[in-house]
Structure 1
Amino acid sequence: MALGKQAKTLSDKQIKAVLSHVEGTRYPARDRVMVLLSVKAGLRAKEIAGLTWGMVTDSNGTVGDAIALENKASKGKRGGRTIPLNTELRAALVDLHTIALRDGKAGTDKPVIHSERGPGMSAASVTVWFHRLYDALGMDGCSSHSGRRTFVTKAAKRVVEAGGSLRDVQELAGHSSLATTQRYIQGDSDAKRKLVDMV
């Protein structure tokens, strides 16, 4: 994907607006999880569609502390990875899991993201869902990949504070190459100015 064609990253204000918007949808708990899987775990549309309850629950059947994304739900043969759960995302998954348990849809092989007409959504349906969401909010240039780019960019900016490196961001994103991860990261002009002054 050419640099000029990449999905836009989302500001904190935009993320807040998106989360506020989905509170009024027909399936607010599901929709909140979809948004947070994108911006707080960096999942692709295919991964959101392929995520099952077995990948987010522990041996006790409760939502765990990480997503154990399997290769079959990801991109490529080795796209599977473990992603620690962001606190906000975990809380949203707990809420959705409670609903799934009530409705008999919380089996380990059941999709986390249900559709209105069937058990789960396809990757294409997830992509369309995000397109409609951003279109309704007038967020031009945003797509299902915007949350993922936002996640990677934010993680790259904060990784040193966490005591890590870009290699950690690469592994969280499930990229086979560090060069791919670097293409996802949106630069920050203010940070560049501050950095040059520090040198």
Structure 2
Amino acid sequence: MAQAKTLTEKELRKVLNYIAIHKHAARNRAMLLVTHLSGMRVGEVAALRIGDVWTGGAMIKDEVRLLPEQTKGKHARSVFLGEKLRKELLAYLATIDRSDLTMPLFFTQKRDGFTANTLCQHFHWLYKAAGIDGASSHSGRRSFITNLANKGVGVRVLMELAGHRSLAVTQKYIDVNPSMLRSAVELI
């Protein structure tokens, strides 16, 4: 099976522009950006509760502690939320009822939380409708890791951010592209 497509900035903007003019824009934008700006797996996004990201005040946590039951490998891990993602999540939270911190952060039209499978399908259709071929629910995660690698972040740090237990797995996520190759030869 082919790896999920790594999105360029232009392709990500295209998906966000598509989302902006359709139903559930705030939710869909926030869900998509969680994968692209934190590298979380779709199952981890689906498992998020309001209290995982929100302090209950006017702030978003800068670190989310995922419990073993929220992760793929059943190993607790921390996910760091940068300023850009915290602003996106705060804007999204302003659009929903936040009175119960145990409620799913992202929910369907029926007010149920997404499952990993339904969210995977949802991302598939968002990318397809936006005209991005080869993208899947894993594209945000691959794009996150590749973009950080492009900026010179070491593979050991990438491994920790991704929640991988093997450098070899992390290295498979990094999509080598012409821009990376050009930058590399300019270092000489």
* TM > 0.5 fold call: yes
RMSD (Å), alpha carbons: 1.9
User: Could you tell me the TM-score, scaled by structure 2's length?
Assistant: 0.90
Change (3 A) 1:155 1:118: same
Equivalent residue for 1:34? 31
Q: Could you tell me how far apart the structure 2 residues matched to 1:13 and 1:28 are? A: 19
- Segments of 5+ residues of structure 2 without an aligned counterpart are none
Q: Deviations over 1:19-41 (max 9, x none)?
A: 11111221111111111011111
What pairs with 1:104-123 in structure 2 (closer than 5 Å)? 105-123=98-116
Confirm or deny: 8 A CA contact 2:37 2:82 kept in the other structure. Answer: yes
Q: Tell me, yes or no, if structure 1 residue 158 matches structure 2 residue 151.
A: yes
Q: Could you tell me how far apart the structure 1 residues matched to 2:59 and 2:32 are? A: 21
Confirm or deny: 8 A CA contact 1:81 1:172 kept in the other structure. Answer: no
Change (3 A) 1:106 1:70: farther
Q: Could you tell me how far apart the structure 1 residues matched to 2:137 and 2:17 are? A: 18
User: Could you tell me the TM-score, scaled by structure 1's length?
Assistant: 0.86
- Segments of 5+ residues of structure 1 without an aligned counterpart are none
AA partner of residue 95 (structure 1): A
Instruction: Give me the identity figure in percent.
Output: 36
Q: Tell me, yes or no, if structure 1 residue 189 matches structure 2 residue 178.
A: yes
Equivalent residue for 1:168? 157
Equivalent residue for 2:79? 83
Equivalent residue for 2:121? 128
Q: CA deviation at 1:106?
A: 4.4
Change (3 A) 1:197 1:86: closer
Of residues 108-117 and 184-193 in structure 1, the stretch that sits farther from structure 2 once superposed is 184-193
Runs of 4+ in 1 over 6 A off after TM superposition: none
Change (3 A) 1:106 1:120: farther
AA partner of residue 166 (structure 2): S
Change (3 A) 1:186 1:140: same
SS in 2 for 1:126: helix
Q: CA deviation at 1:73?
A: 1.1
